[in-house]
Amino acid sequence: MASITDRIDNVTRIPPAYLNAALPAPKSVKIEISPRCNYRCGFCALRTREVQPKWDMDFGLFKRITREMRDAGVGEIGVFYLGESFMNPRLLVDCIAWLKRDIEMPYVFLTSNASMAFAEALEECMKAGLDSLKWSVNAADEAQFERIMGVAPRLFHRALENIKAAWEVRKRGGYRTGLYASSIRYDGEQLDRMERLLAERVRPYVDRHYWLPLYSMGAFATLREEQLGYRPTAGNQGRLGALREPLPCWSAFTEGHVTAEGKLSACCFDATANWTMGDLTRQSFMDAWNSESFVKLRAAHLRKNVSGTVCENCIAYS
């Protein structure tokens, strides 16, 4: 099985067949099981929502669109997008089971902040066939956690406990779920503190850890990022060690992004429906994937001139 970083690189690398405005089905799609999150991270696009959504994805809609995706050739489904999927563990497990058992999706993956991932839910996810579970670990201690994640420090310890629990659950049950972790690579003293935490509390309980740059989250979180004292990288260029050029942005070419409301977005950081390209409650996945608005946006990316489009204000292009 390909490593998690190989899979990430394969999605962020736009192959020649995908350097067109109208495209075949994407390699991968992320679907927002729950748009809610118990963190209020200063660097996250979710902070830009004036009103936090209350409704999770309808399971009937999830089943319909994922069957369409499977029929169209999508091979990887992420059961998350911007929210924290463990906010609704029952729905999360049902979605994984549907994907693996009913439509035989080759690869199902999940990213989580770990704080809500209690052992019973972890085991049900693994039992249902989850292929990959990645933890986001972005604070070195209680003080930084409270300042950046914006929530009580007790969740810092709970997340680390759950990361260890997942390792133990997998070992005890003999499950094949890959366990991984990623962290934002800060600078200087902060990086040293992160390295100590990772060495003691994270790397012993994952198969691999890798670093990410501080993303701009579609340019909307820039002010908050400046307040936190960290400079974001342009757009979403992938992981450190395999960064991509900002234009054309791979997010609009090789990976689909679906909100809990069923909107197809062109951006991997779209918390405000600013990049909506289609409505899957009213049209098929492939009709939305090659909608007129999406085709026009991709054409602008291919010209490497996104002025006048919804992407023109992204920090990647300013």
Return the pLDDT at 275: 93
In 3D space, the residue among 213, 178, 181 whose CA is nearest the CA of residue 200 turns out to be 181
From edge to edge, which strands make up the β-sheet containing 208-212? 208-212, 178-184, 132-136, 107-112, 76-78, 28-31, 255-258, 263-265, 276-279
Q: Do the beta carbons of residue 31 and residue 268 sit within 8 Å?
A: no
Q: Do the beta carbons of residue 130 and residue 96 sit within 8 Å?
A: yes
Q: How many CA atoms lie within 13 A of 268 on its CB side?
A: 19
Q: Do the beta carbons of residue 118 and residue 139 sit within 8 Å?
A: no
- Residue 108 makes CB contacts below 8 A (sequence gap 6+) with 76, 77, 78, 79, 96, 99, 100, 129, 130, 131, 132
Q: How far is CA 166 from the centre of its chain?
A: 19
DSSP notation for the chain: ---HHHHHHHHHS--GGG-SSS-S--SEEEE-S----S---TT-GGGG-SS---PPPPHHHHHHHHHHHHHHT--EEES-SSS-GGGSHHHHHHHHHIIIIIS--SEEEEEE-STT--HHHHHHHHHHT--EEEEE---SSHHHHHHHH-S-THHHHHHHHHHHHHHHHHHHHT---EEEEEEE---HHHHHHHHHHIIIIIGGGSSEEEEE----GGGTTHHHHHHHT-PPPSS---STTS---SSS-GGGTTEEEE-TTSEEES-TT-SSSTTEEEETTTS-HHHHHT-HHHHHHHHHHHHT--TTSTTTTSTTT-
pTM: 0.89
| Distance separating the N- and C-terminal Cα atoms of the chain | 39
Over its length of 318 residues, how does the chain's per-residue pLDDT go in tens digits?
677 777 777 778 899 999 999 999 999 999 999 998 877 765 565 555 556 677 899 999 999 999 999 999 999 999 999 899 999 999 999 999 999 999 999 999 999 999 999 999 999 999 999 999 999 999 999 998 988 888 899 999 999 999 999 999 999 999 999 999 999 887 778 889 999 999 999 999 999 999 887 654 444 444 444 545 554 444 455 545 556 678 899 999 999 999 999 999 999 888 777 899 999 999 999 999 999 999 999 999 999 999 999 998 875 555
Q: How many angstroms separate the CA atoms of 210 and 104, rounded?
A: 29
Return the pLDDT at 221: 42
Cis peptide leading into residue 248 (ω within 30°): yes
Neighbours of 68 (CB within 10 A): 18
Return the pLDDT at 165: 98
The burial class, CB within 10 Å (0-12 / 13-18 / 19+), for 146 is: middle
Backbone angles phi, psi at 315, to 5 degrees: -60, -20
Return the pLDDT at 243: 63
